[in-house]
């Protein structure tokens, strides 16, 4: 089952819920404040190919020149 994130309209905190895909759009109560005014949030997906020498072996990201790591181009392992 996938994990869905719901953002509370009242307190703006995110609640993670493990539920069936068929129940993804059902109402969810905020675990932080108890409000029933939540909306499903879009979350990022992280995939790991299992290969070596990729981003996980080079500082956690692929250097693009604007990644903000402060290292010169190629300096963060890319």
Tell if the pTM clears 0.85, that is, is over it.
Answer: no
Q: What confidence tens digit (pLDDT) does each residue in 13-38 have?
A: 999 999 999 999 999 999 999 999 99
Radius of gyration of the chain (CA): 18
CA angle 43, 34, 4 (to 5 degrees): 20
Q: How many CA atoms lie within 13 A of 33 on its CB side?
A: 13
Give the number of other Cβ atoms within 10 Å of residue 6's Cβ: 20
Q: Which pLDDT band holds residue 7 (cuts at 50, 70, 90)?
A: very high
């Amino acid at each position: 089952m996938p994990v869905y994130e719901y953002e509370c309209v009242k307190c703006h905190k995110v609640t993670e819920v493990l539920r069936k895909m068929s129940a993804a759009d059902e109402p969810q109560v905020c675990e932080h404040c108890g409000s029933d005014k939540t909306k499903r949030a879009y979350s990022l997906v992280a995939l790991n190919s299992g290969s070596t020498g990729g981003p996980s072996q080079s500082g956690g990201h692929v250097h693009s020149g604007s990644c903000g790591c402060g290292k010169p181009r190629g300096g963060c392992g890319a």
